[in-house]
Structure 1
Amino acid sequence: MSALKNGEFTKVDVDGRILTVTINRPDVMNAVHPMVSQEMSAIFDAFAEDPELWIGIVTGAGDRAFSAGNDLKYHAELRAKSGARPASPTSGFGGLTNRHDLDKPLIAAVNGVAMGGGFEIALACDIIIASDKARFALPEPRVGLSAGAGGMQRLARQIPLKKAMGMMLTGRHVPAAEGYELGFVTAVVPHAELMKEARRWADMILECSPMSIRATKQVVMRSLDNPIMEVSMKNMRYPAYVAHRNSEDAIEGPKAFAEKRKPKWTGR
């Protein structure tokens, strides 16, 4: 639990089963440098291990940006001083983009600009709720870089390929409404209602068994790239599915339905 506290560059809030993590560098549009990534990595390590926390929400401080991505000023200064590249933790940019074993659901509440690595953090979440002021892009080629924190892979898997290539090969900015039409945004709401809407989605997830939710996420993500349906449907190969099948929740759900009451989920 020690990592679940405000850091120098991040804020955390725990409300019941929900953890909200805020990238807190509004003066630089919540750009991410290695210290942000390290703080977020520790936070999400603690989130993954805490049985009392079932859902995470990620957002940015202020009204301008979710995250403008890689802190290129810090990047350039480090290269000039040492010749080294900024290093992310093994969990990836923002402590999330390489985190392929987190079965708890994550919601990105995108309150403004989500560019480059900022967009990659959002793409690493399961649901994207966007303010109508949000804008998305993978503009790395415009500054001689590439979207190396999963953006090239995730965007091409989440929307039609030609649409993804149209974004990635131009670096163009996509407003929230277009992101919704393309399919990488789950919902768009007026800016003032963003966090309320993210919480509404979190509450809908909380109505479900957390064991079922984790099983669903794990099976979906691990079977995405398996082209053989017969193989991908061997659900007993997925540990979270096995755990869910053998859980107290799997007994409680049908029992509550039969008794016409709300189930009391334990996550066990």
Structure 2
Amino acid sequence: MALIYEKRNHIAYLTLNRPEAHNALDPETVIELADAWQDFSQDKEMRCAIITGAGEKSFCAGADLGRLIPLWTGARKPETEADKQVQANPALAQNALLRDLPLSKPVIAAVNGNAIAGGFEILYNTDIRVAAEDARFGLQEVKWSIVPAGGSTVHLTRQIPYARAMEILLTGELMDARQALEYGFVNQVVPKAQVMEAAERYAAIIAKNGPLAIAAIKQAVLENSGKDVKTALAREMELSIPVFLSQDAQEGPRAFKEKRDPVFTGE
């Protein structure tokens, strides 16, 4: 299977499972990943997700240059049912990369190795990123006369300084994990063996927090990016009021007063 999708303790685990191909996205992976994100979004028991890659070398090398890209350029005819679905529905790849699939739940990236091209672009849509010390990041599409159209020209300059973003976009050169940390693109850099442990530490904390509050916070941040302050504050209040009126908002302070852990239901 191209993707391992598991659920434990309110946390969804998505593991790209093509280590022999550096976890590159082929048509089968695109379909399975898009389906998994949709399931995660709709499952009320899931409060946080962790995405990682199998193997020791790569988180994700982006789109498979032999199987996926040629379908889009017309250099390869569909051979499998997955080929036909991906060619007929470009939105599948965009959803797999979370480009056009809004999620109100947090996503944590456990970057166990190189995150290149589409493997780098999927990180824009994650909320917390932990990287292995030897991980490298970048967009090499320009070297192959391809535009990194997974959101790179929109998101990268909003997530790291402009000049650094343009250096990555225009040269196609890679940055190492320490540079990514310096630019603020990742939260932590840890030894490879500790990447998942660090990601799970974040996920466990988030999973205990109020899911309605988390969803409202993430939605407010995403929706208000680029808006004027007055409009953004008004939208923040619109999203906050239903949470204040929820049962969870009553449970949180009550649990604090009673010196116990709150039991949130998402209602």
Q: Provide TM-score, normalisation by structure 2.
A: 0.90
Deviation of 1:100 (Å): 4.2
1:36 paired with 2:29, answer yes
Distance 1:221 1:76 in 2: 29
- Matched AA of 2:9: G
Matched with 1:55 is 48
Matched with 1:5 is none
Q: Percent identity?
A: 37
Matched with 1:264 is 263
Q: How many residues align?
A: 258
SS at match of 1:58: strand
- Give the direction of change, closer, same or farther, for the CA distance of 1:89–1:256 in structure 2 (3 Å limit): farther
1:238-257 to 2 correspondences below 5 Å = 238=239, 241-257=240-256
- Matched AA of 1:56: A
- Matched AA of 1:154: H
1:105 paired with 2:106, answer yes
Matched with 1:67 is 60
1:184-195 to 2 correspondences below 5 Å = 184-195=185-196
SS at match of 1:74: coil
Checking the alignment, whether the CA contact within 8 Å between 2:27 and 2:68 is kept in structure 1 is no
Matched with 1:80 is 75
Deviation of 1:261 (Å): 2.1
Deviation of 1:242 (Å): 4.1
Matched with 2:222 is 221
Checking the alignment, whether the CA contact within 8 Å between 1:37 and 1:92 is kept in structure 2 is yes
- Give the direction of change, closer, same or farther, for the CA distance of 1:77–1:163 in structure 2 (3 Å limit): closer
Listed one character per residue, the Cα deviations across residues 111-158 of structure 1 (whole Å, up to 9, x for unaligned) are 101000000112211111111121100111011101101122111111
Checking the alignment, whether the CA contact within 8 Å between 2:97 and 2:121 is kept in structure 1 is no
Matched with 2:231 is 231
SS at match of 2:7: strand
Deviation of 1:205 (Å): 1.1
Checking the alignment, whether the CA contact within 8 Å between 1:10 and 1:40 is kept in structure 2 is yes
SS at match of 2:248: helix
Q: Which has the higher contact order (CA 8 A, sep 6+)?
A: 2
Listed one character per residue, the Cα deviations across residues 36-60 of structure 1 (whole Å, up to 9, x for unaligned) are 1111111111111111111100011
Deviation of 1:257 (Å): 1.7
Listed one character per residue, the Cα deviations across residues 66-117 of structure 1 (whole Å, up to 9, x for unaligned) are 1000101114654333399964652544613324421000001111010000
- Give the direction of change, closer, same or farther, for the CA distance of 1:249–1:91 in structure 2 (3 Å limit): farther
- Matched AA of 1:229: V
Distance 2:255 2:203 in 1: 21
Q: Which one of the candidate residues 11, 15, 30 is aligned to 1:18?
A: 11
Deviation of 1:11 (Å): 0.3
- Matched AA of 1:244: V
Matched with 1:124 is 125
Matched with 2:159 is 158
Checking the alignment, whether the CA contact within 8 Å between 1:36 and 1:94 is kept in structure 2 is no
Distance 1:118 1:56 in 2: 16
5+ unaligned residues in a row in structure 1: which ranges? 1-7
Listed one character per residue, the Cα deviations across residues 157-196 of structure 1 (whole Å, up to 9, x for unaligned) are 1111111111111111111111010011111111000101
Deviation of 1:224 (Å): 0.7
SS at match of 1:80: coil
SS at match of 2:264: coil
